[in-house]
């Protein structure tokens, strides 16, 4: 605060405490909006960072602040200057403890609804950020009832919009609605730029709302970002579940761990009689090779703007399931007979593989768990038993987590 005229500055500050953040019911100080109060004679300038508020709300808060300052005895002129915060102390994607992506095989199944309500559920216990990577249909701002523009920090980094402690970034927050007109590389570069440079303050969990489908943008994002796992959203409709099954397979083939599935619009509970009704009459559904994390009903409550930390119980349960899945997503279950060479020096890796493999009977299963791609181990195994690589059948290598690979074969 300025050193000039402390008594007037104190009175201005006291008066400003009556101005509230209309969304959070906090004073503008508690909400962290007031950066500085400068008093020059009878002129007062309040510096305020209102980047967390949408345009209309911010204008209302500025008006209320001006009114409050003007009401203070001794003030001749009042000004409110909007300032940008600094990126200092903020982090980028790499800083998050967990990154969870929400995907769907097709559009319109409720992917963005699941992403936003999941973020709101997790926000009860964590500092959560939500990134809307859906270039052509960025629905997240609408679902959360927030709007842009996106502000930049003093360093020029894009700042997320804050709503009840949840941080949100979306191309849909850009002022002129440009994303809808973007195509291909331009759109991809814009999202990439936002994804890489957004200066987050929250750093526990980042929820990523992916575009629908399994196009290049989706796969590249999943492979480039430090994603712990994906939640896939489907409706309980035969074709939707089959498509989702293929999506799960594709993610696994591309080394993306799948945390589980959300079956959305599972049933509709009648407002009048409370009777649950199926919305889709598809008979028996195909098996999904992923655990079902939640079955969400079709409900008007799920169409309403979610409140971070205060979500319907079915969504809170989804949050708990995802939290539990994230805890184990970084772990790979090592079969008892596997050779675990993670973290070992090169010579020790070779020694363990040699000892175990040469001790096996023909036809016995052999499994290696490694912290790097163990494909070259195939040639080493061949030399050990003087067999060509083709003699190893089956021979599979899969990336079980972002940092664990599993090699499975049989001694020829």
Ligand X SMILES: Nc1ncnc2c1ncn2[C@@H]1O[C@H](COP(=O)(O)OP(=O)(O)OP(=O)(O)O)[C@@H](O)[C@H]1O
259 forms part of the interface with ligand X (CB under 6 A): no
**Binders in 278-337 for ligand X, by CB under 6 A:** 296, 298-299, 302-303
130 forms part of the interface with ligand X (CB under 6 A): no
Question: According to the annotation, is 153 in a ligand binding site?
Answer: no
Share of the chain residues as helix, strand and coil, in percent rounded to the nearest 5:
35, 25, 40
Q: Are strands 258-269 and 229-234 parallel, antiparallel or unpaired?
A: parallel
Binding test (CB under 6 A) with ligand X, winner from 110, 229, 260, 306: 110
213 forms part of the interface with ligand X (CB under 6 A): no
113 forms part of the interface with ligand X (CB under 6 A): yes
CA distance 110 to 118: 12
| Residues 382-401: x where in contact with ligand X by CB under 6 A, - otherwise, as a string | --------------------
Question: According to the annotation, is 106 in a ligand binding site?
Answer: yes
264 forms part of the interface with ligand X (CB under 6 A): yes
Question: According to the annotation, is 112 in a ligand binding site?
Answer: yes
How near is the Cβ of 303 to ligand X at its closest, in Å?
Answer: 4
Task: Please work out the total of residues on this chain that contact ligand X, with binding judged by CB under 6 A.
Answer: 19
How near is the Cβ of 144 to ligand X at its closest, in Å?
Answer: 12
Instruction: Return the ∠ at Cα 11 (arms to 8 and 29), rounded to 5°.
Output: 120
How near is the Cβ of 307 to ligand X at its closest, in Å?
Answer: 16
Q: Return the residue nearest ligand X (CB atom).
A: 107
109 forms part of the interface with ligand X (CB under 6 A): yes
Contact between residue 241 and residue 232 where contact means Cβ atoms under 8 Å apart = no
CA distances to 128, 287, 400 from 117, in Å: 12, 26, 28
CA distance 350 to 365: 18
**Residue 210 or 329: which CB sits closer to ligand X?**
210
For residue 173, which phi and psi values (nearest 5 degrees)?
Answer: -90, -10
| Residues 28-47: x where in contact with ligand X by CB under 6 A, - otherwise, as a string | --------------------
Q: Is the dihedral of CA 166, 167, 172, 177 positive or negative?
A: positive
Binding test (CB under 6 A) with ligand X, winner from 6, 74, 108, 215: 108
CA 397, chain centre distance (Å)? 28
How near is the Cβ of 299 to ligand X at its closest, in Å?
Answer: 5
CA distance 349 to 29: 58
Q: Which residues of 221-376 form beta strands (DSSP E)? A: 229-234, 258-269, 276-278, 292-298, 339-340, 365-370
Q: Which residues bind ligand X (CB under 6 A)?
A: 104, 107-113, 134, 137, 139, 212, 264-265, 296, 298-299, 302-303
- Give the residue ranges of the annotated binding site: 105-112
């Amino acid at each position: 605060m300025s050193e000039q005229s402390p008594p007037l500055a104190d009175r201005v500050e006291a008066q400003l405490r009556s101005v509230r953040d209309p969304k959070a019911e906090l004073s503008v100080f508690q909400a962290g909006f007031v950066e500085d109060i400068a008093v020059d004679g009878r002129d007062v300038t309040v510096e305020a960072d209102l980047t967390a508020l949408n345009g209309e709300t911010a204008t209302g808060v500025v008006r209320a602040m001006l009114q409050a300052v003007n009401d203070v005895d001794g003030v001749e002129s009042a000004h409110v200057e909007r300032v940008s915060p600094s990126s200092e102390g903020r982090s980028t994607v790499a800083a998050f403890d967990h990154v969870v992506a929400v995907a769907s095989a097709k559009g319109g199944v409720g992917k963005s609804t699941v992403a936003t309500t999941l973020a709101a559920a997790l926000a009860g216990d964590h500092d959560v950020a939500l990134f809307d990577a859906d270039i052509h249909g960025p629905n997240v701002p609408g679902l959360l009832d927030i709007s842009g523009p996106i502000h930049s920090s003093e360093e020029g980094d894009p700042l997320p919009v804050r709503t009840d402690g949840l941080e949100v970034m979306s191309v849909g927050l850009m002022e002129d609605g440009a994303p809808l007109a973007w195509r291909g590389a331009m759109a991809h570069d814009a999202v990439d730029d936002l994804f890489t440079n957004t200066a987050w303050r929250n750093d526990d969990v980042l929820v990523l709302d992916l575009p629908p489908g399994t196009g290049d943008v989706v796969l590249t994002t999943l492979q480039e970002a430090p994603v712990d796992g994906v939640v896939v959203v489907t409706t309980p409709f035969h074709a939707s579940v089959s498509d989702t099954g293929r999506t799960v397979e594709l993610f696994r083939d591309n080394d993306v761990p799948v945390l589980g599935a959300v079956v959305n619009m599972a049933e509709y509970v009648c407002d009048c009689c409370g009777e649950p009704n199926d919305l889709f009459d598809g008979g028996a559904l195909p098996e999904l090779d992923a655990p079902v994390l939640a079955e969400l009903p079709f409900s008007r409550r799920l169409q309403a703007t979610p409140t971070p930390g205060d979500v319907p119980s079915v969504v809170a349960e989804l949050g708990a399931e995802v939290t539990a899945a994230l805890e184990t997503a970084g772990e790979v279950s090592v079969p008892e007979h596997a050779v675990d060479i993670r973290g070992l020096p090169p010579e020790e890796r070779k020694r363990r593989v040699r000892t175990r493999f040469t001790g096996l009977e023909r036809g016995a299963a052999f499994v290696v768990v490694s912290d790097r791609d163990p494909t070259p181990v195939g040639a080493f195994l061949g030399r050990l038993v003087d067999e060509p690589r083709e003699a190893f059948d089956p021979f599979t290598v899969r990336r079980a987590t972002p940092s664990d690979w599993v090699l499975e074969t049989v001694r020829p």
